[in-house]
Amino acid sequence: MTLKRLFTLLLLAALALPVQAEGFITRLLNKPVPGGVAVVTLPEQAEAPRAEYLDQPLLVIREDDKRWIAIAGIPLTAKAGTDHIELADGRRLAFNITDRKYPEQHIQLKNQRHVTPDPEHLKRIQRELDEQIAAYKTFSARQPSNLLFDRPVDGRLSSAFGLRRFFNGEERNPHSGLDFAAPTGTSIKAPAAGQVILVGDYFFNGKTVFVDHGQGLISMFCHLSSIDVKVGDELARGAHVGKVGATGRATGPHLHWNVSLNNTRVDPSLFIGAFMP
Ligand code: ZN
């Protein structure tokens, strides 16, 4: 079966689920694998409990008006086994991480400078990285408008999250997001409501927009040909953000979309019902 066909089948399966079904968010998002998400039921109390994972505050919502749940992003580097989230009173709640194998991609680049950036660029790259990490650490009080995200663009999924990439045999950072193939100029739309917290034109990511959906749930869109929002803008679900392009280190026009929770980049396919176990 081709990847495209598998994605389509999985999407159809997800769409067939009744959206208002009991425990829908838990069933949609609870994929406790490296690069996935753990949904942990919290103690019953009047106010939303506060919880942390890896020293970062967690997204906490009320599910079915019945229970508090924490939604924790699990780093790609996490090992299989028992892990914990921590409540404000110090209590620890366990969850189990299971293994997930990510495929490898080997790319031969003729120009070694595209494999290892020039030293003159390293300062810029570090500065831009720091700026983006700060944005990922944003934790606002707002409730995400929807956790079942809309697809930010029309276009096939062209490169999966977590792909282990080797340039000329040297392993580089794994793929931190999900790519959509789409022509330059295609409109990118906010998958949920949010506030624009950072825009930039970066060495690797090109023209980039960060949107805060609330409580540490952040979308990042990059390689844009045009950014059509500014920092501070409030975006409704489905609002136009910018246009697909190939700026930065991109081999062709596509949208690269990162989803981050508790400052951890997780598989965006989870949020659009396209997760492949
Ligand atoms: Zn990408």
3 state SS for 15-46? HHCCCCCCCHHHHHHCECCCCCEEEEECCCCC
pLDDT, one tens digit per residue, over 125-156 is: 999 999 999 999 999 999 999 999 999 999 99
Q: What is the pTM of this model?
A: 0.89
Rg (CA), the chain: 19
Average pLDDT over residues 225-238: 98
Q: 81 C-alpha to center of ligand 1: Å?
A: 29
Residues 123 and 41 in one domain: no
Residues 6+ apart with CB under 8 A from 231: 196, 197, 198, 199
pLDDT of residue 24: 87
Ligand 1 (ion): residues with CB under 5 Å are: 179, 256
Q: 254 C-alpha to center of ligand 1: Å?
A: 8
Q: Domain count for the chain, please give it.
A: 2
* CB 268 within 8 Å of CB 176: no
C-alpha 197/C-alpha 190 separation (Å) is 13
pLDDT of residue 120: 84
User: Tokens 């997930």 — which residue?
Assistant: 100
CA atoms lying within 13 Å on the CB side of residue 40: 30
**End-to-end Cα separation, the chain, in angstroms:** 15
For residue 226, pLDDT beyond 80: yes
Residue 169 lies in a domain: yes
Residues 33 and 138 in one domain: no
Q: 182 C-alpha to center of ligand 1: Å?
A: 12
Q: Which domain holds residue 254?
A: 104-272
Token code pair at residue 81: 């086994």
Residues 73 and 126 in one domain: no
C-alpha 19/C-alpha 148 separation (Å) is 9
Residue 77 lies in a domain: yes
- Which neighbouring-strand residues pair with 83? 95
The residue type of 42 is L
Average pLDDT over residues 261-273: 97
Residues 123 and 236 in one domain: yes
Residues 93 and 108 in one domain: no
Residues 85 and 203 in one domain: no
Residues 25 and 124 in one domain: no
* Confidence at 161, pLDDT banded by 50, 70, 90: very high
Q: 265 C-alpha to center of ligand 1: Å?
A: 12
Residues 6+ apart with CB under 8 A from 21: 27
Q: 67 C-alpha to center of ligand 1: Å?
A: 36
Q: What is the DSSP letter of 152?
A: S
* CB 190 within 8 Å of CB 242: no
* CB 164 within 8 Å of CB 106: no
Token code pair at residue 206: 């090109």
Q: 271 C-alpha to center of ligand 1: Å?
A: 17
Q: 256 C-alpha to center of ligand 1: Å?
A: 4
Residues 108 and 203 in one domain: yes
Output the CA torsion sign for 31, 33, 37, 42: positive
* Other beta carbons less than 10 A from residue 202's beta carbon: 20
* Confidence at 7, pLDDT banded by 50, 70, 90: low
* CB 201 within 8 Å of CB 245: no
